Amino acid sequence: MANIKTKNEDMEKLIERFLKYVKIETTSDEANDKVYPSTPSQMEFQKMLAEELKEIGLEEVDLDDNGYLMATLPSNIDKDVPTIGFVSHVDTSPDFTAKNVNPQIVKYTGKSIELNKKEKLYLSANEFPALARYLNQEIICTDGKTLLGADDKAGVAEIVTAMEMLIKNPEIKHGKIRIGFTPDEEVGRGADKFDVKKFGADFAYTLDGGPVGELEFENFNAASAKITIQGLNVHPGTAKNRMKNSMRIGMELNTMLPTNERPEYTDGYEGFYHLIDFTGSVDYTKMAYIIRDHDKDKFVQKKEMMIKVVDHLNLKYGSGTVKLILVDQYYNMREKIEPVMHIVELAKKAMEAVDVIPDIKPIRGGTDGSRLSYMGLPCPNIFAGGHNFHSRYEYVPIKSMEKSVEVILKIAELNAM
């Protein structure tokens, strides 16, 4: 086997790419669900990326009208092995602004990192204990005014860099590799228009995980619950036995759901109900929840609980007062990965070979990989290296990004043996 280690020039190119990518704003838009991608900036980013893939020597570079970019690295061996795919998404979360990202590289010495002196914003191990793991390492963070975009431009930069290294180092043997960059993952539509048949991989990995070592093949079952409440607004002086305050009904609905099944009280395999929006008046209120659980039966029970609560309130306040639209979003990929667990073992073996300790655990969230697995492309998730996604405190250690590249290279090499 080749001695797979990133060289200084590879590292410099990796970081150069990442810093370039995060400065380009590609926020997705949940409300714009009739257009793919949901924002023009994502398509512009993909066009730029397509040209870069051609420049480094990838083949079959294809950007479709929906903003999905695919490319091929041909095999350099004379035997048939499975075709591997590597997938990342190019959009950033609408949860926090990604306009005018100003990344900075800082060596963590154990002291709090000053993100923004004027705003008195600091990245501290007291508040974010994981930071202590990276003592004396260089990390990339922001100036505290925006998110960073390591979710998932770290993954994009790592995949592109790994492909360039494989092209420049033909002594590293590998089969056919397909790469794919998707839009709109952050708003739950990253796999909507993904053409699995055209992609043509036997299995794939999303590079969309967090800290170094993460390896995941389980994720939440997920549903969204959109609720509208029609109240009755009359003058408060004559309201007795007449007024129906839709906001109070919404508050009552929320208290009827289990308090200990909220995100702030759950961890590991525990699911939750998460109230993500509440807007209204006496007359009319809108609420939105996301419902999550790793266990399929408990997931069903949570949805049934939501239905029962709504039915109870309609019985109490009148038929049609509360309306519920409950939609399944994605499912736990474990069901589709377990029959092909060798692909998890391949990633695990690759990590160990490059001195990364695998951290196999469930994803407390979703990933393109979960939906792709149900579309016929088994797709576990491996780390891209970032922390504190979707926030001004997001950061990624440079060493973690380097290790991600090494894992990609080793997966490709081991698959060719």
The answer to whether residues 143 and 98 touch, using CB atoms and an 8 Å cutoff, is: no
Contacts of 394 (CB under 8 A, 6+ apart): 141, 142, 147, 148, 149, 150, 151, 386, 387, 388
Please say if 29 is a catalytic residue: no
Residues 6+ apart with CB under 8 A from 162: 86, 405, 408, 409, 412
Structure tokens at 302: 């949570």
Given the residues 152, 185, 214, 413, select the one marked as catalytic: 185
- C-alpha distances (whole Å) from 267 to each of 254, 272, 361 are 20, 9, 11
Annotation says 185 is catalytic: yes
Peptide bond into 152 cis (omega under 30): yes
Active site residue ranges: 91, 185
